[in-house]
Amino acid sequence: MSKMSDMAMTIEELRSAAAAINEAANWLAEQFGGTVDESSAKEPAAKEEKKPELKLEDVRAVLAEKSRAGHTAAIRTLLQKYGASKLSAVDPKHYEALLKDAEVLDDAT
């Protein structure tokens, strides 16, 4: 186990050194010409903009709230629109559209 511990520590030190070298290279590039590859600089921002994937529990919570507000029949109609008789049968790729349709329910009444 000691060898594994030593190896894990060495790997962590290598990662730390690589991060420090990368930061130094970026700083040097900014100071001496700004030739940092712009696509790699923008890439982390694009990852942050990506929406988190909706889960069944998230959709269930919203639809339960709408149901308590008296929209149970409309929710059943929405589920049928997406080819399901119950929420667990709805394809996850339709969750976002289902939520958008459910948001309209409060405005319709």
Predicted local distance difference test score (pLDDT) of residue 41: 55
Q: Which residues of the chain have pLDDT under 50?
A: 36
Please check whether residues 78 and 44 belong to one and the same domain.
no
Phi-psi region of 61 (alpha: psi -120 to 50; beta: other; left: phi over 0): alpha
**What is the total count of domains within the chain?**
2
The confidence score (pLDDT) of residue 45 equals 57
**Residue 83 CB-half CA count within 13 A:** 6
* Same domain assignment for residues 67 and 98: yes
Q: Which contacts (CB < 8 Å, 24+ apart) does range 19-25 have?
A: none
The whole-number pLDDT of residue 2 equals 84
pLDDT of res. 42: 58
Predicted confidence at residue 49, as pLDDT, reads: 64
Q: Which of 60, 75, 61 is nearest to 106 (CA)?
A: 75
Determine the structural domain holding residue 84 and report its residue range.
56-108
Task: Write down the pTM of the prediction.
Answer: 0.51
Residue 48: its pLDDT value, please? Answer: 58
